[in-house]
Amino acid sequence: MLKTKISELKEIVLKREQKLSISQIEFMFQKKELEELRKKVNVAHVSIPSNLKEAIQSQREATERVESETAKHQVSLTEAKANQHRLHEELAAVKDKLNKREESKQKSQTITAKRAAVLKEKIKENTELLNYIKTLSGLRELPVEDPDSIRLEFIPEGEEDASLNLTMHFAVDLSGRVHLTGAEVNIESLPMDDLIRTAVEKNDPVLLICNLRERWASYQPIVSEIKKLSERHAVDWIQEEGVVRVLLGKRGTVICTLSVPKTYPQEGSVSLVSVHGGYGDDNTMDVDEPAAEKKSLQQWVDYLEEKYAKS
């Protein structure tokens, strides 16, 4: 807005200067005409015709015409001088106003620069504080290429535990309000569509983080177990059916199917469903399930691995 006002004032100054230049040219032109009339009078005095009366009369008429024209031009010159003086005053006033605008602009820029420096320092302090709070809350911000996204890591308790990363996407509407538009995690097996849908509807990323933390707390143990098992065996986790299939045996042809409750490991225990020799359902192998305490997924796999080590 300030830049626009200054540009308008500069344009007014330019127009006033052009108008002043035109007035000066008109003044010079009128002055030249007056000089020409005076020359005509002088010539009239020098040229004396034979008829003296006619010459005198002609001289008087010429003098009157010159005086009349001179009077008219004197009025025009007076008006021109007055206009010129007025234009000078207006030009000075505009220039003074322009100078004040420039001073105001410089002061505004100085104040803006100081405020920006203060805000920058506050942002730096708040960012450091935010990172510290995130660390205390078990979260850590990770770099992300998309400027409209935030990626957070739920810091694992142990070095061998699986790490969960949450990426949230945002958009800004015309009023400047920020909206949560979507999210995803780096562990595809973790069900969270319902959590994302609720958080987007309420535009509440904090709610998403809290709900995801609770779900991850109950989900992380089995994910860590599956991850460890996958390092030694071929594992197929079918969440919809609540079963885990593991390939065991010397040749890796023994298919062991285990039932894993959705509440595991907080509630319930893993149980053996079936063991197949790898040649179809008609080749079911005998299972000698020991009468022991409830076994974890890892304990079951260790037991079955030892049992069918030579198969």
Instruction: Give percent of the chain with pLDDT exceeding 90.
Output: 15
Q: Is residue 127 part of a domain?
A: no
DSSP collapsed to 3 states, the chain: CHHHHHHHHHHHHHHHHHHHHHHHHHHHHHHHHHHHHHHHHHHHHHCCCCCHHHHHHHHHHHHHHHHHHHHHHHHHHHHHHHHHHHHHHHHHHHHHHHHHHHHHHHHHHHHHHHHHHHHHHHHHHHHHHHHHHHHHCCEEEECCCCCCEEEEEECCCCCCCCCEEEEEEEEECCCCCEEEEEEEECCCCCCCHHHHHHHHHHCCHHHHHHHHHHHHHHHHHHHHHHHHHHCCCEEEEECCCCEEEEEECCCCCEEEEEECCCCCCCCCCEEEEEEECCCCHHHECCCCCCCCCCECHHHHHHHHHHHCCCC
Task: State how far the alpha carbon of 119 is from the alpha carbons of 122, 131, 268, in Å.
Answer: 5, 18, 54
- Mean residue pLDDT of the chain comes to 78
Q: Is residue 260 part of a domain?
A: yes
10 and 59 belong to one structural domain:
yes
Which of these three, 203, 225, 247, is where a domain ends? 225
Enclosing domain of residue 63 = 2-116
83 and 103 belong to one structural domain:
yes
pLDDT, tens digit, for every residue of 138-186? 888 889 999 889 999 988 776 667 788 999 999 988 888 889 999 999 9
174 and 244 belong to one structural domain:
no
250 and 221 belong to one structural domain:
no
177 and 283 belong to one structural domain:
no
Q: What number is the average pLDDT over the span 91-107?
A: 82
Q: Is residue 251 part of a domain?
A: yes
Q: Which residues are within 8 A (CB) of 182 and not within 5 positions of it... i.e. 6 or more apart?
A: 168, 169, 196, 200
Tokens 């593991």 belong to residue: 246
Q: Say which CATH number the domain at 47 has.
A: 1.10.287
The total number of structural domains in the chain stands at 3
The number of residues making up the chain comes to 311
Q: Is residue 11 part of a domain?
A: yes
Q: Is residue 96 part of a domain?
A: yes
Strand pairing class (254-259; 243-248)? antiparallel
pLDDT, tens digit, for every residue of 47-68? 545 566 677 777 777 777 777 7
pLDDT number for residue 191: 85
102 and 36 belong to one structural domain:
yes
pLDDT number for residue 61: 78
pLDDT number for residue 38: 65
Q: Is residue 41 part of a domain?
A: yes
Q: Is residue 121 part of a domain?
A: no
299 and 210 belong to one structural domain:
no
64 and 93 belong to one structural domain:
yes
92 and 19 belong to one structural domain:
yes
Q: Which residues are within 8 A (CB) of 135 and not within 5 positions of it... i.e. 6 or more apart?
A: 155
Which of these three, 196, 225, 254, is where a domain ends? 225
CB 153, CB 142: distance < 8 Å: yes
Cα distance between residue 13 and residue 22, in whole Å: 14
CA 244 to chain centre: 46
189 and 250 belong to one structural domain:
no
What is the pTM assigned to this prediction? 0.47
Highest-confidence range of 25-29, 111-115, 187-191, 244-248, by mean pLDDT? 244-248
pLDDT at residue 103 tops 60 = yes
Q: Is residue 128 part of a domain?
A: no
7 and 111 belong to one structural domain:
yes
